[in-house]
């Protein structure tokens, strides 16, 4: 039997790694990957509490988070492609103007 706190610490570590990647990375695709890592960390918290409370509602929430993450990935990658067409770069330091 694994204590619930182990799962929570693991998800906190994953979330912290996601936040660190979001802050220190300069490649826009890697920043996007860090966001997915944060979502996965939160999902683990949902599943752990669902197992503790013997309730399936947490699983449904994780399902919806996955749907939103898939939609977000599709739209975000389309935006990345559109930005790359106009700027010819993926570095967020070079994408510093609102105009095209």
Partner 1 sequence: MLAQILFFIFAAMCVGGAINLLVQKHPINSALSLIVVMGSLALIYLLLGAEFLAAVQVIVYAGAVMVLFVFVIMLLNAGEEERLSHGSRVAILLGVPALIIGLGIAAWFITHITGLDRVAIGGPEIMNGTDVFGNPQAVGKLLFSTYLLPFEVTSVLLLIAIMGAVVLARREGD
- What is the distance between the alpha carbons of residues 33 and 30, in angstroms, rounded to a whole number? 5
DSSP 64-82: HHHHHHHHHHHHHHHHHHH
Picking from 13, 29, 31, the residue whose alpha carbon sits closest to that of residue 21 is 31
**Minimum distance between the CB of residue 95 and partner 1, rounded to whole angstroms?**
11
Q: Smallest gap, in angstroms, from Cβ of residue 67 to partner 1?
A: 5
Q: How far is the CB of 76 from partner 1 (least distance, A)?
A: 9
Contact residues toward partner 1 (CB under 8 A) are 1-10, 12-14, 16-18, 20-21, 24-27, 29-30, 32-34, 36-37, 40, 43-44, 47-48, 50-52, 54, 56-57, 59-60, 62-64, 66-75, 77-82, 84-85, 90-91, 93-94
Closest CA to 60 of 76, 74, 49: 49
């Amino acid at each position: 039997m694994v204590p619930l706190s182990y799962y929570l610490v693991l998800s906190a570590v994953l979330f912290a790694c996601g936040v660190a990647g979001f802050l220190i990375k300069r490649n826009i695709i890697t920043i996007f990957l860090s966001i997915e890592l944060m979502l996965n960390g939160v999902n683990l918290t949902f599943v752990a509490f669902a197992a503790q409370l013997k309730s399936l509602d947490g699983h449904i929430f994780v399902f919806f988070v996955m749907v939103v993450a898939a939609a977000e990935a599709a739209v975000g990658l389309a935006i990345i492609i559109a930005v790359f067409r106009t700027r010819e770069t993926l570095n967020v330091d070079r994408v510093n103007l609102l105009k095209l």
